[in-house]
C-alpha cells in the first residue's frame, strides 16, 4: 500500500495513533498541539486532521470532535514501525533483547522429552497473555513440507519385509510388508535402489500419479510392495490434520470497551474455545512459505470473521528441517504494536533455542 503523506502529516498521524493507543478516546487538535516536537497551532493541526480524514487515515465519530485511527491509518503506522525496526536491524548487529523473568522461567522447563512439550507451550501462552494483556495462541510444531531422506527395505522373515522411511527432522516410519512369496537379496536391493532413486529428496506434494505409475511398472510383480512403501511415506510426511493449539487470555478482551459487546465477545470466546478457526489460521500461515516473519492483520484483514474488529499479529517459528509452528496475539486495533512485535520476535528466538537444545 502506498502512503503519500508529507512529513507533517506523518507526524500528526503518528501522534494521533499513539495517543489513541494509550487512551482509547478520540483525539482532538489541542491534545496533539501539546506534542513538543510538532510546534504547530491547533488551527494548523485541525486543517491537517481534516486532510487525513479525507484521505481515509483517520475517522471522526459522530459523538465527538476528536478523531480515531482507521484501519488504513493503523496499517500506515504498523508498516512504518516495521520498516524502522528492519532498518535498525540492518544497520547494526542485532542485540539480544532483555528477557522477561517470566519468559526465563518458561525457558527453564527445557523440553527434554516430548511429553513436556505440552506443558511448555501452555506456559508460553499464559506468559504471553499476561505480558501483553491480549488473547494469545500457540500451535505445537508440525512437520510441513519435509523431504524424504532415505528408504530401506530389509528382510524380517521369508514372507515379511521391514520398510524404514526416514524424513527430515529425523522422522522415522516403520512398516511391515507381507509378501506372497519369498524375495531374494538381489530383488530387495533393486527395489531399494528404485525407491531411493525416485523418492529421495522429495516432498509428499511432489509425488504424483505419473511417478507412482512408473515406480509400479518398473517394480513389475512387486508393485504391491511399492504401494505399501508409498503408504508409509504418506503417513510419515503429510501435514498433520490435527493441529494442536494452546490458548490463553481470551477474557482479556473484556478490558477493552470496543470489544466487550456481549454478542461479539461471546463469539470471540467461542472461537478460542472451539479452536477450529484458529487451526485454519495456523494452517494458512504454515502453508505460506513466505510467511516466516511477523504478520500483522488489521480489522477486515483478519482471516477469522469473529476477529474483524481486532488486530491479529502472528509469527511463524521455525525449528529447521521443515518443522514450524505459529504464535499469535489477538487484541484491539489500538494494541501496543511495538511491544507485541518485540515480544513475538523474542519468543521466536527463545523457542528456536529451546527446541534446538533438546
What the block records as the C-alpha cell of 341 is 512485535
- Rounded average pLDDT over 254-283: 88
The span from the CA of 287 to the CA of 289, in Å, is 6
| Residue 238 confidence (pLDDT) above 90 | no
The span from the CA of 313 to the CA of 318, in Å, is 17
What the block records as the C-alpha cell of 230 is 508409498
The closest alpha carbon to 331, from 193, 129, 159, belongs to 129
DSSP code for 293: S
For helices 223-237 and 185-199, give the axis angle rounded to 10 degrees.
Answer: 40
> What is the predicted pLDDT for the residue at 236?
63
- Rounded average pLDDT over 124-131: 91
Contacts of 270 (CB under 8 A, 6+ apart): 306
> What is the predicted pLDDT for the residue at 88?
63
The span from the CA of 162 to the CA of 22, in Å, is 63
Q: 167 phi and psi, to 5 degrees? A: -120, 170
Q: Which residues pair with 329 in a beta bridge?
A: 136, 313
| Residue 283 confidence (pLDDT) above 90 | no
Q: How many C-beta atoms surround the C-beta of residue 25 within 10 A?
A: 13
CB 316 within 8 A of CB 285: yes
Identify the band that residue 332 occupies on the pLDDT scale cut at 50, 70 and 90.
Answer: very high
What the block records as the C-alpha cell of 255 is 478490558
DSSP for 191-219 reads: HHHHHHHHHTT--GGG--HHHHHHHHHHH
Contacts of 169 (CB under 8 A, 6+ apart): 143, 146, 320, 321, 322, 323
- Distances from the Cα of 192 to the Cα of 150, 200, 221, 235, angstroms: 9, 11, 15, 19
Highest mean pLDDT pick, 28-32, 113-117, 199-203:
28-32
The closest alpha carbon to 65, from 30, 114, 101, belongs to 30
> What is the predicted pLDDT for the residue at 101?
47
What the block records as the C-alpha cell of 208 is 504424483
What beta strand segments (E) does 118-170 contain? 135-139, 142-143, 148-157, 160-167
What beta strand segments (E) does the chain contain? 58-59, 68-69, 135-139, 142-143, 148-157, 160-167, 171-178, 245-248, 294-298, 310-318, 323-332
> What is the predicted pLDDT for the residue at 314?
92
SS3 95: coil
pLDDT, tens digit, for every residue of 28-65? 998 888 875 778 888 899 999 999 999 999 998 876 67
Sign of CA dihedral 331, 294, 113, 128: negative
| CB burial string 276-305: b at 16+ within 10 A, e below | ebbbebbbebbeeeebeebbbbbbeebebe
Identify the band that residue 128 occupies on the pLDDT scale cut at 50, 70 and 90.
Answer: very high
DSSP for 70-110 reads: -HHHHHHHHHHHHHHHHHHHHHSPPPPPPPPHHHHHHHTT-
pTM over 0.85, yes/no = no
* CB-based burial label for 334 (10 Å; 0-12, 13-18, 19+): buried
Contacts of 318 (CB under 8 A, 6+ apart): 292, 324, 352
Size of the chain in residues: 358
In the chain, the percentage of residues whose pLDDT exceeds 90 is 33
Amino acid at each position: 500500500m502506498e502512503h503519500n503523506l508529507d512529513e507533517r502529516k506523518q507526524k500528526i498521524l503518528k501522534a494521533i495513533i499513539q495517543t489513541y493507543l494509550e487512551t482509547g478516546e478520540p483525539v482532538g487538535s489541542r491534545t496533539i498541539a501539546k506534542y513538543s516536537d510538532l510546534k504547530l497551532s491547533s488551527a494548523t493541526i485541525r486543517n491537517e486532521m481534516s486532510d487525513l480524514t479525507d484521505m481515509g487515515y483517520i475517522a471522526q465519530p459522530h459523538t465527538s470532535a476528536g478523531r480515531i485511527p482507521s484501519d488504513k491509518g493503523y496499517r500506515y503506522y504498523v508498516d512504518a514501525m516495521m520498516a524502522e525496526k528492519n532498518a535498525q536491524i540492518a544497520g547494526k548487529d542485532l542485540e539480544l533483547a532483555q528477557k522477561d523473568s517470566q519468559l526465563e522461567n518458561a525457558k527453564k522447563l527445557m523440553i527434554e522429552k516430548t511429553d513436556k512439550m505440552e506443558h511448555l507451550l501452555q506456559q508460553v501462552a499464559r506468559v504471553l497473555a499476561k505480558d501483553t494483556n491480549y488473547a494469545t495462541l500457540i500451535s505445537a510444531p508440525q512437520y510441513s513440507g519435509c523431504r524424504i531422506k532415505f528408504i530401506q527395505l530389509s528382510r524380517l522373515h521369508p514372507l515379511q519385509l521391514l520398510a524404514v522411511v526416514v524424513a527430515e527432522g529425523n522422522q522415522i516410519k516403520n512398516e511391515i510388508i507381507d509378501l506372497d512369496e519369498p524375495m531374494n537379496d538381489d530383488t530387495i536391493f533393486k527395489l531399494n535402489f528404485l525407491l531411493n532413486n525416485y523418492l529421495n529428496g522429495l516432498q509428499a506434494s511432489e509425488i504424483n500419479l505419473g511417478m507412482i505409475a512408473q515406480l509400479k511398472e518398473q517394480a513389475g510383480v512387486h508393485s504391491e510392495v511399492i504401494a505399501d512403501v508409498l503408504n508409509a511415506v504418506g503417513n510419515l510426511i503429510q501435514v498433520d490434520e490435527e493441529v494442536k493449539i494452546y490458548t490463553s487470555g481470551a477474557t482479556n478482551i473484556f478490558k477493552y470497551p470496543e470489544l466487550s459487546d456481549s454478542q461479539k465477545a461471546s463469539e470471540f470466546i467461542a472461537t478460542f474455545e472451539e479452536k477450529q478457526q484458529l487451526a485454519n489460521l495456523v494452517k494458512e500461515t504454515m502453508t505460506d512459505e513466505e510467511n516466516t516473519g511477523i504478520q500483522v492483520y488489521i480489522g477486515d484483514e483478519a482471516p477469522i470473521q469473529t476477529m474483524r474488529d481486532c488486530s491479529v499479529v502472528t509469527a511463524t517459528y521455525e525449528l529447521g528441517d521443515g518443522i514450524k509452528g505459529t504464535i499469535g496475539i489477538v487484541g484491539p486495533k489500538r494494541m501496543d504494536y511495538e511491544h507485541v512485535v518485540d515480544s513475538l520476535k523474542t519468543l521466536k528466538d527463545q523457542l528456536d533455542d529451546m527446541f534446538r537444545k533438546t
